[in-house]
Amino acid sequence: MKKLLLVTLTILAVTLGLAFVNPDYVSPVEKVVEAAAPAVVKIDVETTAKISPFDPFTEDFFKRFFGEIPFAEKKAEALGSGFIFDADGYILTNEHVVHNADQIKVTLLDGSKYDAKYVGGDEELDIAVIKIDPDGQQLPVLEIGDSDSLKIGEWAIAIGNPLGFQHTVTLGVISATGRQIPKPDGNGYYSNLIQTDAAINPGNSGGPLLNIHGQVVGINTAIVSPQYGTTLGFAIPINVAMRFVDTIIKGIPIQKAYLGVYVSTVTESTAKSLGLKVDTGALVTDVIKDSPAEKAGIKTQDVIVNFNGLDIHSSDELVAAVHNYPAGSKVSITLNRFGKKITLNVELGYQDNAEGKKTQEKYQDDKLGLVVDNILPGDREELSIPQEISGVIVRDVLENSYASRMGMSKGDVIVMISVNGKQEEVSSLEDYKKVVSEFKKGDYVALIVLREGVRYIASFRYY
């Protein structure tokens, strides 16, 4: 009995001793969450999608005999995160969270709910600003940090609403910086992302990635499929977002930068055939006249290997990196010229024209289901559209339209339209509007389209 009592007292003493290890310790993460969580918001979004009640074959039959299809509308709900960065009620989030929203609702940590309005954003950068009316209330605000000063291995804290679990906190480190990954829809690259092993899941999108001082260093935006990896999350550097925020709030169209080069990705065959001294990078195949690239001294067959501190491995990475800056930014570009490394200082120009003013507004054509625009210098750079090619460029394809059924996509260039055998050149937006306005029911129509340097024909009968 005495032995049993002695053992019990010993275990009790050890247990009590463990309970008092670091008795006054407070995790710095706890303090970050206490300070930051009130400014992190849950975003509920409602959108409307048009749904055809017919399969493609039945659609054509219906349109032939009965005219327009009675599309049904379907409501869809989505969830994301965001954070208040300005006491007037401005909130940063991802564009893909609030894109085409009919209704946006915001919920704070204390349960307060607000209707929010969409202020503006950019699909390519995947950033957006929404706004709530504080109505005299003092809103909590997050402090903006400096993503350019991040070091590998420093703490990273994510707060958001993964899978609807409001204000979930996850902890990790900065795993890498300067990551370039393809977007899930295959439409371009995310550039210069922060990689973290802090768990990021669906619903975290738009929420803040914080440093140990509670400052925002990134906007959580992308995850890797669980079948490939479970501790890989990515965030847009806050410095990239803040370059464009003032422009968005002022309602001014975003003017992303323009370099003025046609590029292709260096491959083993191009490197060996041209005698290049590097096996990776963006090969300059042409330089646009009077562009920032020409003025800085960039030449054909130069290989761009670094853009303002970001290593470049492909042409897509270069395009995405350039578009991370507003027009007028001054950057350094490192290139390899047949073994000679050269660094140039370049003042980036405007995608539209030298003055940065749009000469035309994009046009929504409800007949074909396209949003089209004139070809701008930035389009030629991004898509390598030769100077001698004229036409209109597709900015968007509407759902359940002629264009969507023909497989047209963003970036296609319409160079000619043929109606009942009569071919019309399309050199401008005005040409396009004129031809399409004259469509009549029963017309046989063919669009001659340039995609990635290859022409194809999309034909249909218009009803």
- Catalytic residues, by residue number, are 96, 126, 205
How far CA 178 is from CA of 209, 227, 306, 310, 325, in Å, comes to 15, 23, 11, 6, 15
Instruction: Kindly give the pairing relationship between strand 143-144 and strand 155-160.
Output: unpaired
Least Cα distance to 262 among 223, 232, 206, 304 occurs for: 304
Q: Where are the beta strands (DSSP E) in 230-339?
A: 233-237, 257-258, 261-265, 282-287, 303-307, 310-311, 330-337
Position of tokens 């219906």?
62
Distance CA 352, CA 358 (A): 6
Q: How far apart are the first and last CA of the chain?
A: 97
Tokens 């709530």 locate to 132
The first and second tokens of residue 128, run together, are: 């957006």
Instruction: Tell me which residue of 140, 345, 132 sits closest to 259, measured CA to CA.
Output: 345
What type of residue is 416?
A: M
CA nearest neighbour of 217 among 120, 142, 153, 166: 142
Give the residue among 87, 162, 97, 161 at the shortest CA–CA distance from 128: 97
**CA atoms of 127 and 237, how far apart (whole Å):** 11
Are 79 and 44 within 8 A, CB to CB? yes
Q: Which residue has the tokens 């749904």?
A: 51
Tokens of 440: 């009549």
Please give the C-alpha separations between residue 77 and each of 100, 102, 117, 128, in angstroms, as whole numbers: 12, 10, 16, 18
Q: Are 250 and 284 in contact (CB under 8 A)?
A: no
Distances (CA, A) of 293 to 262, 299, 330, 376: 10, 8, 12, 16
Closest by CA position to 126, among listed 219, 44, 253: 219
Closest to 265 (Cα-Cα) out of 251, 255, 276: 276
